[in-house]
Amino acid sequence: MDWIITILQTLAIFAAALFILVLVHELGHFLAAKLFGMRVERFSIGFPPRVFGKKIGDTDYCFSATPLGGYVKISGMIDETMDTDFVGKEPEPWEFRSKPVWQRIIVISAGVVFNVILAAVIYAGLAYTYGTQHIPADNVQELYVAENSLASQMGFRTGDRILTINDREPETYGISQLVSLPDITRTDLRFTVDRDGQTVQIYAPEDFMDQLSKNQEFLSIQNALPSKTSAVIPGTPADEAGLLGGDEFIAIDGEPIGYWMQLSSIISNSEGEIVLTVRRDGEVFDVPVTPNADTRTIGIYPVDPFEYFGIEYINHGFFSSLYQGGRMTYETTSAILTGFSRMLTGSISVRDNLGGPVAIASVTKEVTDQGGFFGFWMITAFLSISLAIINILPIPVLDGGYLVFLAYEGITRREPSVKVRMALQQIGLILIIGLFIFVTFNDIMRHIVN
């Protein structure tokens, strides 16, 4: 029964995000068309067949049965409906085809522009409401690097301290990941670290993004947490063994440790009793404890990373929030474009990195579950930029395809023939349907494998 509830929750959250994205995108087309005196026959959330709606003036505002997008039907335009009834008739002043090329370009581009604006507004709103947080880089010293982890495969070792990322000395770190989104998507990602007083260069491998997409953790703030507990859960093995909040663990079965992830890994992989060497109020002593046989835990909490690393909160005023919104939009757009370009050039796997509706819905719910209201709007902003980039691709049926037709008309002073446009539209539709089937199948197979 729980899985049914999970599926319904996932669908509801995804539907809410998709509704916002589609509404804003189509609103861009709608308002631009109205601005230039074009008649809008239909404003639809979803693709045909029409389910219900209401006609106000010349426009039918409706919901349609296929919930994977939406469209605005403008008089005198060959769109997703493939309607060509107007062909052969004299253009009417309110029709799309009667307007100058520059006006038609604005109408077609408006959906993408509105999606980018939506993302910027969301990021700005979150900055204004929640502020931003970061950790001073000087507060994060040595890192723990697990064996066989992605960081270990790259060349990081436990005890390393990051000096530079892409030749730039970091002043702050994010509150979760140490490497920012713009940096982590670069093709030339490289680090300089201090290792026992020696300077070492570390370079990301060519398949770095592929490895990240396979749920590999990479240099989170958790890697720097000390092997110290903030609290002990009553009734657990740790409680029964006499451990207390504030205890620092310096060894397990005689092997020195210094990091929380190291402590957690050893406990979860242990079989039977382990001996913890504890430092408490300057005294050092051993405590035998047997982890829970089912959960492989002993019932202790780590220290609060926000408190331990001295997280800094920054409140933003109106103009500062606008700047943050623009900055986040730019960084997210750059990261997504880099990902797309690396898939197109084959430097990263399309199968491993391109997500369809199943993956997007799953990620949307996961981020919302973890981040609540903040998480929902963060992923919605990210998806809004992704939608804008996909729509601007020069594929017939998408906005980018229409712009190619208009660019051709602007240069040659003549429109492509209706027959050519219809043929290309159908080819584009087949490509989009094929891609949709591929990514959906890929999502399902990836979910089954995982």
Q: Answer yes or no: CATH 2.102.10.10 is held by domain 132-225+304-314.
A: no
- Assess contact for 303 and 226: CB atoms under 8 A: yes
What pLDDT score does 214 carry?
Answer: 67
417 burial type by CB count under 10 A (0-12 exposed, 13-18 middle, 19+ buried): exposed
53-70 mean pLDDT: 90
Q: Are 122 and 202 in contact (CB under 8 A)?
A: no
For residues 56 and 137, which has the higher predicted lDDT (pLDDT)?
56
CB 255 within 8 A of CB 212: no
Q: pLDDT category, 271, cuts 50, 70, 90?
A: confident
pTM of the predicted structure, to 2 decimals: 0.81
Quote the percentage of the chain above a pLDDT of 90. Answer: 45
Where along the chain do its domains lie?
Answer: 2-130+377-449, 132-225+304-314, 226-302
pLDDT tens profile 224-240: 899 999 999 999 999 99
Q: Is the pLDDT reported for residue 295 higher than 80?
A: yes
Instruction: Report the 10 Å Cβ neighbour count for 57.
Output: 8
Domains 132-225+304-314 and 226-302 share a fold: yes
Condensed to tens digits (0 to 9), the pLDDT of residues 95-104 reads: 888 899 999 9
Q: Say what the pLDDT of residue 307 is.
A: 87
Lowest mean pLDDT among 177-191, 224-238, 411-425: 177-191
- The domain made up of 226-302 has a fold known as Pdz3 Domain (2.30.42)
Residue 352: pLDDT band (50, 70, 90) is low
Q: What's the pLDDT at 140?
A: 85
Q: Is the pLDDT of residue 81 over 60?
A: no
Alpha-carbon distances of 381 from 330, 337, 375, rounded to whole Å = 12, 15, 10
What is the β-pairing status of strands 255-256 and 274-280? unpaired
Nearest in space to 227 (alpha carbons), one of 145, 303, 135: 303
- Helix 357-391 to helix 318-344 angle, to the nearest 10 degrees? 100
pLDDT value of residue 345: 72
DSSP 13-67: HHHHHHHHHHHHHHHHHHHHHHHTT--EEEEEEEEEEEEEEEEETTEEEEEEEEE
User: What confidence category does residue 450 fall into, taking pLDDT thresholds of 50, 70 and 90?
Assistant: low
Spatial separation of the C-alpha atoms in residues 119 and 112, rounded to whole Å: 11
Residues 145 and 219 sit within 8 Å (Cβ to Cβ): no
CB atoms within 10 A of CB 405: 21
Beta bridge partners of 56: 59
Tell me the HSE value of 139 on the side-chain side, using a 13 A CA sphere.
18
Using a 10 angstrom Cβ sphere, with 0-12 exposed, 13-18 middle and 19 or more buried, the burial of residue 104 is buried
Phi, psi of 446 (to 5 degrees): -65, -40
Confidence grade of residue 348 (pLDDT, cut at 50, 70, 90): low
In this predicted structure, what is the pLDDT of residue 82? 57
